[in-house]
Amino acid sequence: MGITTILHQIIILGILASVGAIAYRFKILEDSAKSVIEKLVFYISLPLLIVSKLSTLSFTPEILRNAGLVVLFAYGIMFIQLLIGKMSARIFHLERRQAVIHSLHHMLGNIVFLGFPLLDALIPGGEALLYAALYQLVLNTILWSYGVIQLNPDTKEKGWKQLKKLINPNTVALSLGLMMMLLKIQFPPLIQKSFSGLGSTTLYLAMLYIGILLAQMKVKEVFKLSIFTYSLTKLLITPLLFLVLIYGMIQYLFVPLNATAFTVLVLESAMPAMTILVLLAKRFGADDSLAMKNFFVSTVLSLLTLPMVLYAVQWIQQI
């Protein structure tokens, strides 16, 4: 995975997001398009991308071992990110509505709309997508339990009502893909080609969606120290910290984590602010304005920081 490939992919993402932003500005895509694209990605293209990739992946003990380690490391990464978010919220003396968004955004990254397409493009073949899907599963367990309770402490949706939200098209696709991989079942060629072709549109649809969100943001409103500090910490400082910690465990504690799983963990920890948190903040009465500003600044800056993080991963693996 050369640095040229990484830069090309980030440039492609930037171009695609710009197309979405321009289309929105010229009213080619209106507000209603955002909801349609979100549903297309979440309910159709992304599930088909996951299941079509995983169904062609050969199951090995190494993949099973790495999958288990990815889940464990993902919980550890998000716990540390949450602690850092809580500490920095205290440093900036943020009120509760803002502190909740600030701390949750440290932990919850834009895995669906940016992480999945980017990883699938950088590391094709399905293994990286498997680990990314497991990382998202961990994120969902936290978001729909701890996250919702923090956003709205008085919510009555607890217990099973929250756990039911873990059952969605993407977790179903992950389960189906894993079952097909384990049982060595594959779709007939025509179905596989149709599903994989539609799944491959995820990258383009997701970036159009992000472009629309960016076009709706007023740039002059984002210049706050807490927002840029959050972005720097989330996008660069903590991912490099995890890179060193996980690599040290691989080298000196002999943790059997392969290069693909290692890359996925570090890259997913470096994703910008989660888009869904903007909607949840509005629904539960948290500071949705701050959530949108975090999303805007971190997404724009990620076009610069992601190549740096990926280059660091590549460099340390060559030592």
Q: Residue 162's domain is classified under what CATH number?
A: 1.20.1530
Return the pLDDT at 112.
76
State the pTM of this model: 0.82
Return the pLDDT at 163.
59
pLDDT tens sequence across 7-28: 777 788 889 889 999 999 999 9
Say if residues 234 and 44 touch (Cβ distance below 8 Å).
no
Phi, psi angle pair for 26, to nearest 5° = -90, 10
Listed as ranges, residues in the chain with pLDDT below 50 are none
CB burial of 183-206 (b: ≥16 within 10 Å; e: otherwise) equals: eeeebeeeeeeebbebbbbbbbbb
pLDDT tens sequence across 197-224: 998 898 888 888 888 888 887 777 677 7
* Angle made by CA atoms 110, 115, 118, in degrees to the nearest 5: 140
β-bridge partners, 109: 273
Q: Is 72 exposed, middle or buried (0-12, 13-18, 19+ CB in 10 A)?
A: exposed
- Enclosing domain of residue 190: 3-317
Q: How many domains does the chain have?
A: 1
Return the pLDDT at 285.
74
